[in-house]
Amino acid sequence: LAKTTQPISMDSYEGQEVNITCSHNNIATNDYITWYQQFPSQGPRFIIQGYKTKVTNEVASLFIPADRKSSTLSLPRVSLSDTAVYYCLVGRMDSSYKLIFGSGTRLLVRP
């Protein structure tokens, strides 16, 4: 499983767009990129998943360059309720699909 590197913490203000970049230099051909969000005292919540180029859903966008060695989670117009830990995960579609979490990025959204 590819190791991921992401910033330990980020600060933003309400209404701003937040981009969290994750490095995964050793990503394998069959690996997918997945992002989860976790609020204090809650389980993680799936945000978005992608393989290449760009994926968008109602919550976020995921940008993946052609070499796939990094990815960027984009949160449009954040609010205070987006304050959470964001995890970037890389894993292949093997038989278990277990999630391997790093330490994540702690995003603080200020008023």
Partner 1 sequence: DTGVSQDPRHKITKRGQNVTFRCDPISEHNRLYWYRQTLGQGPEFLTYFQNEAQLEKSRLLSDRFSAERPKGSFSTLEIQRTEQGDSAMYLCASSLTGTSGPYEQYFGPGTRLTVT
Distance separating alpha carbons of residues 91 and 104, to the nearest angstrom: 16
Contact 91, 31 (CB under 8 A): yes
For residue 91, state whether it binds partner 1 (rule: CB under 8 A).
Answer: yes
Taking CB under 8 A as the binding criterion, the range among 14-22, 62-70, 72-80, 101-109 that sits at the site for partner 1 is 101-109
Which one among 28, 80, 100, 108 touches partner 1, defined by CB under 8 A? Answer: 100
Burial class (CB in 10 A: 0-12, 13-18, 19+), 111: exposed
Taking CB under 8 A as the binding criterion, the range among 17-25, 58-66, 67-75, 93-101 that sits at the site for partner 1 is 93-101
Q: Is the CB of 13 or the CB of 97 nearer to partner 1?
A: 97
